[in-house]
C-alpha cells in the first residue's frame, strides 16, 4: 500500500453559526477519515470580523491544527498582541516587515511528517501589500517540497479569481495544495494542476448560506439600493454549511493524488470525499 497523507482545509469560519457547525461536524470527520492535518481560515470567526484568543483556542480544541487569516486579521485589536503567543495562527506573509505574527510555519503531524503552511494575500481589490508571488517564492526556496517539507499548503486570500489562478500556476509542482479564500462562495474548479498541485479558486465559507456572504441580507440589499448604511452588518445565524476541501498527497513527492470538495450541513448540496470512503 502506497504511503499517503490526508489533509482537510476548511473555508472562512464566519461567526457563531460557522463555529458551531465546525464544532459539530469536525469530530465525526476526523473519526471517520483520520486526516493527518486540519487547517481552517479563521479571520471572520468573531462576529464576522477578526478572531479573539478565546475563539482561536476553541478552534484548536476542536481539532484544527493551523488557523490562517487575511485582511480581517486585525479587526479584533487584541490580535496584535496574542498572535505573538500562537505560532499556529498565521497572518498574510506579505504584510510589511515588523508586522506582528508570522505568515509561514513548518508544523509536524502526529506521524512525524512536516507540513509547511503559507498564508499569503492578493493585491487586486485588496489592501496594498508586498508582492505575494515573490514573498511565497522565498519560502518555497527555503523549504522545498519533498526535500524539507513532506507537504506544502498555501492559503491565498484574495478577491480576484485571475490573481488566484495565476498564483496557482506560479507554484504548480512546488506545493501540495493551494486554496483560495476570502469570497465565501465555493467555486466548481477544484482540480489537480499539470504539475501535481491541488487547487480551487475559493473553498467557500463555514457559515450560513441563507445570507450575503455570511451576513444578514437586509443590510447588504439596502446598501446596494441606496448607498447608505442603515446599520451594522450582522452575522447570519441559521444552520451553517461546513465548506472546504479534502486532499490526499503522495508521501514520496508531496504532490496531490486526489482532491474533493467537502460540504456538510446547511443549504448546500452535501459532498464528502469518496476516495476516503472504505
- Measure the N-to-C terminal CA separation of the chain; round to a whole number of Å: 14
- Other Cβ atoms within 10 Å of 21 Cβ, number: 24
**The three cell numbers locating residue 17:** 453559526
- Other Cβ atoms within 10 Å of 242 Cβ, number: 28
Look at residues 118, 224, 212 and name the one whose alpha carbon lies nearest to residue 174. 118
Q: How far is CA 67 from CA 184, 228, 258, 274, in A?
A: 16, 34, 23, 26
Q: Looking at the annotation, which residues are catalytic?
A: 72
- Other Cβ atoms within 10 Å of 2 Cβ, number: 8
**The three cell numbers locating residue 259:** 482532491
Supply angle C-alpha 194, 199, 200, rounded to 5: 135
Our measurement of the distance from residue 31's CA atom to the centroid of its chain's CA atoms, rounded to an integer in Å, reads 21
What angle in degrees, to the nearest 10, is found between the helix axes of 15-33 and 53-61? 20
Q: What is the DSSP string of 109-154?
A: -TTS-EEEEEEEE--TTS---S-HHHHHHHHHHHS-BTTTBSEEEE
Amino acid at each position: 500500500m502506497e504511503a499517503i497523507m490526508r489533509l482537510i482545509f476548511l473555508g472562512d469560519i464566519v461567526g457563531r453559526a460557522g463555529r458551531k457547525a465546525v464544532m459539530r461536524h469536525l469530530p465525526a470527520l476526523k473519526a471517520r477519515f483520520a486526516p493527518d492535518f486540519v487547517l481552517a481560515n479563521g479571520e471572520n470567526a468573531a462576529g464576522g470580523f477578526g478572531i479573539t484568543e478565546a475563539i482561536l483556542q476553541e478552534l484548536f480544541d476542536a481539532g484544527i491544527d493551523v488557523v490562517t487569516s487575511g485582511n480581517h486579521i486585525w479587526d479584533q485589536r487584541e490580535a496584535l498582541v496574542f498572535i505573538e503567543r500562537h505560532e499556529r495562527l498565521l497572518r498574510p506573509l506579505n504584510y510589511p516587515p515588523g508586522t506582528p505574527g508570522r505568515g509561514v510555519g513548518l508544523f509536524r503531524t502526529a506521524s512525524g511528517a512536516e507540513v509547511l503552511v503559507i498564508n499569503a494575500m492578493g493585491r487586486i481589490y485588496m489592501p496594498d501589500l508586498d508582492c505575494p508571488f515573490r514573498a511565497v517564492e522565498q519560502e518555497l526556496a527555503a523549504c522545498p517540497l519533498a526535500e524539507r517539507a513532506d507537504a506544502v499548503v498555501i492559503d491565498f486570500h484574495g478577491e480576484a479569481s485571475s490573481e488566484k489562478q495565476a498564483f496557482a500556476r506560479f507554484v504548480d509542482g512546488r506545493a501540495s495544495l493551494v486554496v483560495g479564500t476570502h469570497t465565501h462562495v465555493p467555486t466548481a474548479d477544484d482540480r489537480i494542476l499539470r504539475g501535481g498541485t491541488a487547487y480551487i479558486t475559493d473553498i467557500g465559507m463555514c457559515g450560513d448560506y441563507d445570507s450575503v456572504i455570511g451576513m444578514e441580507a437586509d443590510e447588504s440589499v439596502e446598501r446596494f439600493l441606496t448607498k447608505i448604511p442603515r446599520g451594522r452588518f450582522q452575522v447570519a445565524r441559521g444552520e451553517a454549511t461546513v465548506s472546504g476541501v479534502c486532499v490526499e498527497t503522495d508521501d514520496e513527492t508531496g504532490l496531490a493524488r486526489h482532491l474533493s470538495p467537502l460540504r456538510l450541513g446547511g443549504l448546500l448540496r452535501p459532498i464528502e470525499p469518496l476516495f476516503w470512503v472504505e
